Structure 1
């Protein structure tokens, strides 16, 4: 029985067969193809290693940098676990404290996820025909049990559980299901769905009680959310406030034309269903990284070449979302942001003007997602960001309180760092640690913009040099403080 030759392999001799034109009996074409494949594999491997190294290029805040902060703050501002220790004991226990505290901070994401699901429950319009439940009304009621018992809220809970039981491709419903399932809920049974409704009622009660406690808190407003879950919500307000601050900083000569090459956005956030009565009828999105890039270009502050923006967040959902957008952009896909506006909010002229122009320097206006009738009257503007702009933005996992990007040579330090609606989740000690880390990230005369006033300590070479008041409505505003590194 004869064997059939396959390709260039001779089963009889076990040696490569000669082809016409291959005088030495070697298949050069096959070898070249093999070499090309090896090169491609090697290049891909190098790129992967570079990505992994860059993703994990950080170091813990060392005790020598924390000690001046511990020495400068009043004892009551120092964590209980460190307060009564001697300097030598503090130094010895510092690595363990940092590791434990990082774990505790990251665990706060779970409560923040629940808060996002509750705002989705109250304001969402894609899973129910019930009217949106005003969170301002809920807080003003100051009776969590009464809010939970409201017929509109009860109908919303029932509708959300029914939708979450069959989420389909809806990203928000899928996320809500994962959050509820953490409580051991099985949506495939009647008992499980009843349990899901109880989970939502309990989470809403807890969230309302937390807010009541926050409003009664006597601590400084700058640390108001220090015991609250870490939420990733965001909206156009923070983007507008930063744009206003950039305008003022440019006018004062603090930031010069074409001088901003590297930018860091700490806590870029995701527009899931913002707690300030946001919406859910468009895909989950991030706004601030693109809005900052647009503002820097509109103000002629962005460097004409080699502009880069890094985002730093400890929430995997945020980092994964931005990384996925970059991957799609590498294949030529843009990124569309939806910008809803509730006319009843009566925005001031400057905010309205910003809403009409934001994104114009980095993309083009496109038809927006049409809001469903349950959303009520809402104006929507949409901008598709160009793929090349999306690829300028790189996400990194980082706990800014206890970690810093390392190594960070002078050429890679940042001209501008932005941290809005993030430091308010920490106490004075941890805010000071964050400021020490940010100082290491900034080059000399680099600028930090934040809507959180910070303690200035002698050991941290960062000082406030100005501020901008951003007015949203007749009753709503924010302050952006400008800090500069020596």
Structure 2
């Protein structure tokens, strides 16, 4: 086993530059009540994590008594959930910059182009702010604009103050993005070559919890599982239960997401198909469980599950911008996703403003929608008690843990370890703390490039439950 671990570390340790992926947190599917108990992590379950992080100086790590822990973890849960609205505001800013469903105005090329060097928003940005504002009254047929309108209503934003609200929020968003880039640039000049990875690992620890997601991180997950299988670190037919933490909704994002199709979720299906394609489990026999805390997506999940029970397929749109210069391997993944779980169907029309963007669509069969389960759980603070023998064989968390500090990441790792079966695998796409529970064995890191140059890709770290 030790020889296999060393060999796997060699396989998983090659490095490539990558841009920071934007994380998203959303709840995906609704599960029948009473099957699984969701509760807060107990003091005795995190004592090892507290001990090894006692000198970190991070909030909560100094806790030494059970009563203090019970109060802290509940307060932490409330604080994390309080960041959901800020994440929605970030998604609204992305919609203003890049959306095409509510306006024919040209998209803003990047968040950096949304404002001048002095921080003032450009005239093109103000025009798009106005376009979204005037689209709100007739939002009934536009799912994302309706989502924005409902959010503004909950926040008490009046019609007369909408554009001011959008403007102030977008200024904050632009400034925060600049601060993230500066943090990465500063890390790049550090003498320690690992500084960039460490900076990326907690880049969004104070940011709102966004809902955006994309396809390509799932390509990196599949490539990592394939490498592990090739080296004998995984056995055929070994996966029966999978957990997806923060599966995400495709709201809108410049690099990979658009808004000319309905809101959709991909990761529960991409991970299931990867397991089936690699022979790690049969798609019809593998159970996928989604864990998240964004109530805004619960309605999406309920409708999705209802459609599946009614025998309706779930159609997902898969756009690709040829100018993004994907590698041939990434393009192949895009072309073949859905070949096991569904069938190709005619995609939606692409708006003229999107130029050369191409799209394919897949109708996922009802059986793979209705068999999914989900629980409203904050992975940092809450855990699930499963019946004996019903832990997970694989847990994935992409673009999620980057939203937490190192201590909260360590708590999450302890939580994940207790939910994994012995020998189960945990995959994430950012560097995680070396100071973590001894129940997880670090196997290494594997990088998958999404472009021929390697400038854009994902680093997947691998852990095994002892």
Query: Normalized against structure 2, the TM-score is what?
Result: 0.86
Aligned twin of 1:51? 32
TM-superposition CA deviations, 1:364-400 (whole Å, max 9, x none): 0000001111222210010000001112211211100
Aligned twin of 2:307? 328
Aligned twin of 1:99? 74
Aligned twin of 1:68? 48
TM-superposition CA deviations, 1:219-270 (whole Å, max 9, x none): 7321110000001110011111111112112112222212111000000000
C-alpha separation in 2, matches of 1:320 and 1:466: 38
Aligned twin of 1:431? 409
Say if 1:302 and 1:397 are closer, same or farther in 2 by CA, change over 3 A: same
Q: 2:444 aligns with which of 466, 473, 483?
A: 466
Say if 1:417 and 1:142 are closer, same or farther in 2 by CA, change over 3 A: farther
TM-superposition CA deviations, 1:279-310 (whole Å, max 9, x none): 10000000111111111111111146631000
- SS of residue paired to 1:285: coil
Aligned twin of 1:179? 151
Displacement of 1:66: 2.2
Aligned twin of 1:20? none
* Highest RCO, 1 vs 2 (Cα 8 Å, sep ≥ 6): 2
C-alpha separation in 2, matches of 1:458 and 1:288: 26
Displacement of 1:138: 3.0
Aligned twin of 2:325? 346
Q: 1:230 aligns with which of 188, 209, 215?
A: 209
Say if 1:305 and 1:119 are closer, same or farther in 2 by CA, change over 3 A: closer
- SS of residue paired to 1:117: helix
What runs of 5+ residues in structure 1 fail to find an aligned partner? 1-49
Aligned twin of 1:44? none
C-alpha separation in 2, matches of 1:256 and 1:74: 38
Displacement of 1:76: 3.7
Q: 1:314 aligns with which of 290, 293, 300?
A: 293
Say if 1:303 and 1:152 are closer, same or farther in 2 by CA, change over 3 A: same
C-alpha separation in 2, matches of 1:52 and 1:255: 33
Say if 1:239 and 1:142 are closer, same or farther in 2 by CA, change over 3 A: farther
Aligned twin of 1:125? 100
Q: 1:477 aligns with which of 453, 457, 464?
A: 457
Q: 2:394 aligns with which of 404, 407, 416?
A: 416
* Contact in 2 for aligned 1:262/1:308 (Cα 8 Å): yes
Displacement of 1:69: 1.6
Asked which structure has the greater CA Rg, the reply is 1
C-alpha separation in 2, matches of 1:62 and 1:139: 46
C-alpha separation in 2, matches of 1:433 and 1:293: 26
- SS of residue paired to 2:108: coil
Aligned twin of 2:27? none
* Contact in 1 for aligned 2:256/2:320 (Cα 8 Å): no
Across the aligned residues of Structure 1 and Structure 2, the Cα RMSD in angstroms comes to: 1.9
* Contact in 2 for aligned 1:319/1:396 (Cα 8 Å): no
- SS of residue paired to 2:427: strand
C-alpha separation in 1, matches of 2:115 and 2:229: 40
C-alpha separation in 2, matches of 1:310 and 1:181: 32
C-alpha separation in 2, matches of 1:180 and 1:144: 25
Q: 1:265 aligns with which of 222, 237, 244?
A: 244
Query: Normalized against structure 1, the TM-score is what?
Result: 0.83
C-alpha separation in 1, matches of 2:402 and 2:371: 28
Q: 2:419 aligns with which of 441, 452, 455?
A: 441
* Contact in 2 for aligned 1:314/1:398 (Cα 8 Å): yes
Say if 1:267 and 1:458 are closer, same or farther in 2 by CA, change over 3 A: closer
TM-superposition CA deviations, 1:438-475 (whole Å, max 9, x none): 00110111000110222244643102113221111232
2:433 counterpart of 1:455: yes
Q: 2:358 aligns with which of 379, 398, 401?
A: 379
Aligned twin of 1:15? none
* Contact in 1 for aligned 2:115/2:174 (Cα 8 Å): no
- SS of residue paired to 1:323: helix
C-alpha separation in 2, matches of 1:199 and 1:309: 39
Say if 1:142 and 1:482 are closer, same or farther in 2 by CA, change over 3 A: farther
C-alpha separation in 2, matches of 1:153 and 1:141: 11
Q: 1:108 aligns with which of 61, 74, 83?
A: 83
